[in-house]
Amino acid sequence: MGRKRASLGFQMWQKLEEIQNIGQSRHIYKAIDKSLGTKSNNITSYNSYSSYKNASKQFEKWIKVTYPGVKYLKDITRDMGIEYIKHREQIGRSAWTYSQDLVVVNKLLDTDITKKDCNVAKRSLSDRTNNMVDNGYRTKDGVAERFIEGAGLRRRELQHLQVKNCIMQDNELVGVRVYRGKGGRYRVAEVRHDYRRLLGAIISSKKGDDKIFDRPISKRLQAHRIRHEYAKEYCNELIEKGLERDVVLDRLTQSLGHNRHDVLKSYGAYIYK
């Protein structure tokens, strides 16, 4: 009796497993690609890997309904991939969402499909900057906002934050250990001086393995916009201490979870000039 055929979903998972190199620097792969004239297909971020797995499940469901005769990943054609991206736009998915879907399709099929090939709209400047316009949303207790303002954490990082990750000195929160930030990187996020006592008081009643946030933090919370505020104010704080420009850039880059100074350009000219 022959070996049972693996499900299409399992084949997609295997493909993503083959190309995941979590913890490696994607910038190293980019440098290699540039020198060799190639394009890396590696996944270096745990968060990206998790998102791609979820996106691949949607692709699998669509294939099963639209092309029920397809049982093997190798039988999914480039044209099917293009059709799927068009479908995602037609059912109202945002340009950001089907852009990620396109990345997943290309990784699964080893293709280089573009939005132009799919005849779908590109992510507009308004899409990219919309999260910088205050949407008026606030959490009920304001704690999430205070943590972002004070420590510059991302929403996902806040959601997984535990007391044991917090660095305390004299009942004040001075830093936060982030073990799985964007790109799978570890960092210590420095806390702004004006927020240390407040944030320390917030977590004082909790214990080691306790999460700071027991409930899901709404995606309506504009963490990216608030992180800009953290970057601006902490930059000013470091400058007022008399630190040299390169030191300020190093500390801001590290605290925000980036690995290159030039990324700080997006935070405004008050930081990167």
The 10s digit of each residue's pLDDT in 122-167 is 755 455 555 677 889 999 999 999 999 999 999 999 999 999 999 9
Q: What is the CA radius of gyration of the chain?
A: 22
Model pLDDT, residue 188 = 95
Spatial distance between the Cα atoms of 160 and 268, rounded to a whole number of angstroms: 28
Spatial distance between the Cα atoms of 58 and 101, rounded to a whole number of angstroms: 9
Spatial distance between the Cα atoms of 149 and 145, rounded to a whole number of angstroms: 6
Residues 57-115 have pLDDT tens digits of 999 999 999 999 999 999 999 999 999 999 999 998 888 788 889 999 999 999 999 99
Model pLDDT, residue 205 = 87
Under the banding of pLDDT at 50, 70 and 90, the label for residue 26 is low
Helix axis angle for 78-90 and 95-109, nearest 10°, is 170
Q: Is 261 exposed, middle or buried (0-12, 13-18, 19+ CB in 10 A)?
A: middle
Report which secondary-structure segment, H or E, holds 178.
strand 172-178
The sheet that has 172-178: what strands, in order across it? Answer: 166-169, 172-178, 187-190
Residues 217-254 have pLDDT tens digits of 998 999 989 999 999 899 989 988 888 888 888 999 89
Q: Model-level pTM?
A: 0.61
**Is the four-CA dihedral 139, 142, 147, 149 of positive or negative sign?**
positive
Over 80: is that where the pLDDT of 23 sits?
A: no
